[in-house]
Structures are given as structure tokens and as C-alpha cells.
Amino acid sequence: MKNRNTLILLAIGLGLWCLNVGCYYDKANELYPSGQCDTSNVSFSKDIMPVVQSECAISNCHVAPNPPSGGDFSQYEGLKIVAIDGRLLGAIQHQAAYSPMPQNAAMLSDCTLSKFKIWVAAGAPKN
């Protein structure tokens, strides 16, 4: 009888432990911090061009009248050419065959890189 009661108590204890471990409450602000990267609606005007203006045009690189071989990024058409042919992503991801951009600066944040990838994958629309 004593062994049977011990087994029952052990089974109940194990069941309660499993229930406690399997179910827990997460705080939303810890799971989804307010500074989370939003890539749900990437647009040229809101997400891409501001980065280009701040990172590529800051030293007059990639702007007319004498842009380097990378092209003139002051206008959408110039940026779209290098986006579609792969040079833009190659450069901003610091891939081996490309000159790392922004030049003499740290690589763009993971969030910004994700936005560029999404924009290029969508065909580099002017939105």
C-alpha cells in the first residue's frame, strides 16, 4: 500500500512538473521589443533612398556629374541598374568580388540589409 501511494504521489508530482514546464507566460515586450526590424512593407522612398542619401551621397560618391563605375544613385534609375544586376547587394553585403560599401565604413545593419534584399527581390520597384 505504501509503494502504491508513493507511486501515485510521484505520478501526480511528475504531471504537475510537466504542466509547469510545458506552459509558461512570456512578456510581449521581451519577445517583441519596440525597436524590432519591420520588413513587412519595404518601399524605395521610405526605406531605401534615405539610406542611399545618408550612406552613399555623404561624400559625394555615386552622384552626378562624375559618378564612379557603380553609377549615379541620386536618381532611382541609376540605383535600379545596380540593384537588378546584383552589384548593389554584393557591395553592401561586403561579398568578396565587390568593393565593400559604404566605403571606409561599417557594414549596414542587419535590418537595413534585409530591407535592401527584400526591395531587390521584389524587382527594385519605385514605390
Q: Tell me: the pLDDT tens digits for 96-115?
A: 999 898 888 889 999 999 99
Count of the separate structural domains present in the chain: 2
25/76 same-domain check:
no
pLDDT at 28: 45
Counting every residue, how long is the chain?
127
In a domain, 25, yes or no: yes
In a domain, 69, yes or no: yes
pLDDT at 4: 72
22/49 same-domain check:
no
Alpha carbons within 13 A on the beta-carbon side of 25:
1
Range of the domain at 53: 44-121
Q: Tell me: the pLDDT tens digits for 11-70?
A: 676 666 555 555 554 444 454 455 689 999 999 999 999 998 888 765 555 555 454 555
- The DSSP result for 27-96, as a single string, is -HHHHS-TT----TT--IIIIIHHHHHHHTTTTTTT-TTS--TT---SSHHHHHHHHHTTHHHHHHTT-T
In a domain, 9, yes or no: yes
59/114 same-domain check:
yes
